[in-house]
Chains A and B, each alone.
Chain A
Amino acid sequence: MIFGRGERTQRSILQLGIRPDRRWKNILMLGLIHLAAAVALVPLFLVFYHVIKMGAPALNWSFFTSLPTPVGEKGGGMANALLGSLILVGLGALLGVPFGVLGGVFLAEYGRGKVAATMRFCVDLLSSLPSIIVGLYVYTILVVPMKSFSAYAGGLALAILMFPFVTKTTEEVLRLIPNHIREAGLALGIPRWRVVLSIVLKGAIPSVSTGVILGVARIAGETAPLLFTAFGNRNWPTQLGGATPSLPVQIYSYAISPFEEWHQQAWAGAFLLLLIVLLFNMVARYLVFRTQMGKAR
């Protein structure tokens, strides 16, 4: 191919000598396509602009250190929700990451039988499940028997949301590793499980962790599945078996409240949440970038 994708088209935008109606239609449609791309980006800038404008001034030291104050009192923070989120995301990752990574290993390395095909199907559907359904499910299997909202329930809900994603990315990444690497390991007399764990998986750690980081970023912002699993709490989360506050749920309840001070807190929380999620995404992108550079060398 002589021309790269798109090069040809840029030279011929005006396309003189072509029947006018075709030419005008061409210009109109190309204009609309540019417009569509611009319109798609407008909400991004608006959301960032408003969240920074409203949230950054409201974010102060006591936001990170103090408990929420009652209605009408100034100040206060979301320290309890931050700790709660840390606990919930930690529990979710603790359960979701090994499940997801090992599931991906199974699909990539032994993924031929009926079990693997069924699993691939289930993982596909699980990953597109509405997150609130996962909340309902955990409510029925954990909250009802335990008779209490709990961090366990919230963590489990987040884990169920996370593992299909990690499974899929791990499988994709491991499939990219050429077969001769596995064969080389096997030829040295290393047992297959050691080849899989110490050669294939170890070599893919940077890419696998990209998937894990993106998975964590996703569950860190999840609200719906926590509403009736971890519930919420205006105090410190003291035990894993009790209702646990979290940043997204706190933002939600403050946002729909009628009080001005609480709206301020919600904006500050949203600003912080956005920063965290962005940070995770940037780290993930950096890891991808670095592995690609490594391959190019």
Chain B
Amino acid sequence: MSDLLFFNGLRTLALLQIFVFLTILIFLFYFSRQALAEFGWGFFFNSKWSPNQQQFGALAFVYGTLVTSAIALLISVPISIGSALFLTEIGPAWLRKPVQILIELLAAIPSVVYGLWAIFELAPFVRSSIQGPLAAATSFVPFFQGPPSGIGLFTAGLVLAIMITPTITSLTVEIFKSVPRLFHEGALALGATTWEAIRIAVVSPSASGILSAVVLGLGRAMGETMAVTMIIGNRADISAHLFSPAATMSSVIANEYAEADAGLHLSSLTAVGLTLLLVSLVVNSISRLIVWRYRSFLKGVTK
């Protein structure tokens, strides 16, 4: 009797958690209906965002999110994979645990602390040591230009790269550890050099696993809010310059939501949130799918 009670109590809790998840979708949709009804699909293809003129389009934010995340991945993926190889294959045994703890510590630092650090330390560094020389050396390439403030797409991407490196690294470490050891020894026995053995017997079989880790990192980069909001400059522009200020989906919400007046502005911001939610759900589901397929692949190999 009491057993049944206990079970049903727990089940109610579980249903409540599922309920929370579903209501997130429903409520965000409900609160953005005004904007979606007003602008329709054009909402996603219009880059004009002007609360004064009651004109709202999300394209500039989608662009900002995509570009910053892409920069973050470009920087972070090679570093993460290298670190994971260091932690599983070639680092000296006594150094592995401390390095792993330190890399995991990077994930514990709150986003707002990264943001503060980025404003006062990273942005001036980017301005004087990366943007300046790069813009001077490539003055004929418009892509590398932009106002010399250190605030903008590139710095935001750089901070994101720092923040997602621990995520991708620790997931990749798990993947590498799950590759059967015999692959590696087989490659060495056939005369492969250390690097060749790693490439053939560690990296290649893990390819889809690494991909899922990267996609998960992408999901984190797209949803990350505070550090990006503090460093990206918050301008709803689509700019072809790497160093110019921009805005992402999460940064515009963080910036304007509390002050927005009820009506079209608030509704449009919620619609941006809904877009972010859907994109993040899709990205995370893709990552899960890859992991499942990878696991069944591994089971097939080690049987």
Contact = CB atoms under 8 A, between A and B. Distances in A.
A107 B284 CA distance: 21
Nearest to A220: B110
Interface in A223-268: 223-224, 227-228, 231, 248, 251-252, 255-256, 263, 266-267
Given A8-B188, A224-B254, 5 more contacts: A9-B197, A18-B193, A105-B10, A110-B11, A273-B113
Contact of B102 (A4, A41, A131, A135): A41
27 contacts: A1-B185, A6-B92, A7-B93, A8-B188, A12-B194, A26-B194, A29-B198, A32-B82, A33-B90, A36-B85, A37-B83, A40-B80, A43-B162, A44-B103, A99-B17, A103-B14, A110-B7, A110-B10, A124-B284, A130-B277, A133-B276, A133-B277, A140-B28, A270-B116, A277-B110, A278-B105, A285-B101
A90 interface: no
B113 A47 contact: yes
Contacts of A281: 105, 108
A192 B6 contact: yes
Contacts of A5: 88-89, 181
B23 A274 contact: no
Given A30-B194, A130-B277, A1 B99 contact: no
Contact of B27 (A140, A248, A266, A274): A140
A23 B196 CA distance: 10
Given A192-B6, A270-B116, A130 B226 contact: no
A66 interface: no
Given A44-B105, A125-B284, A131 B3 contact: no
Contacts of B92: 6, 10
A106 B10 contact: yes
Given A34-B86, A133-B28, A47 B258 contact: no
B257 A33 contact: no
B250 A132 contact: yes
Interface of A: 1, 3-10, 12-13, 15, 18, 22-23, 25-26, 29-30, 32-37, 39-41, 43-44, 46-47, 50-51, 54, 99, 102-103, 105-107, 110, 115-116, 118-119, 122-126, 128-137, 139-141, 160, 163-164, 167, 191-193, 196, 217, 220-224, 227-228, 231, 248, 251-252, 255-256, 263, 266-267, 270, 273-274, 277-278, 281, 285
Contacts, number: 270
Contacts of A46: 117, 121
Contact of B82 (A6, A18, A36, A102): A36
Contacts of B277: 129-130, 133
Interface stretch (B205-213, B217-225, B235-243, B293-301): B217-225
Nearest to B224: A130
Given A5-B88, A131-B225, A221-B110, A124 B121 contact: no
B112 A221 contact: yes
Contacts of A222: 110-111
Contact of A128 (B198, B219, B276): B219
Nearest to A218: B108
Contact of A6 (B2, B90, B216, B270): B90
A21 to B, nearest CB: 11
B28 A223 contact: no
Contacts of B66: none
Interface in B246-267: 250, 253-254, 257-258
Contact of B250 (A30, A137, A224): A224
Nearest to A49: B121
Nearest to A266: B116
B212 to A, nearest CB: 12
Contact of A132 (B109, B194, B225): B225
A47 B193 contact: no
A274 to B, nearest CB: 6
Contacts of A136: 28, 253, 257, 270, 273
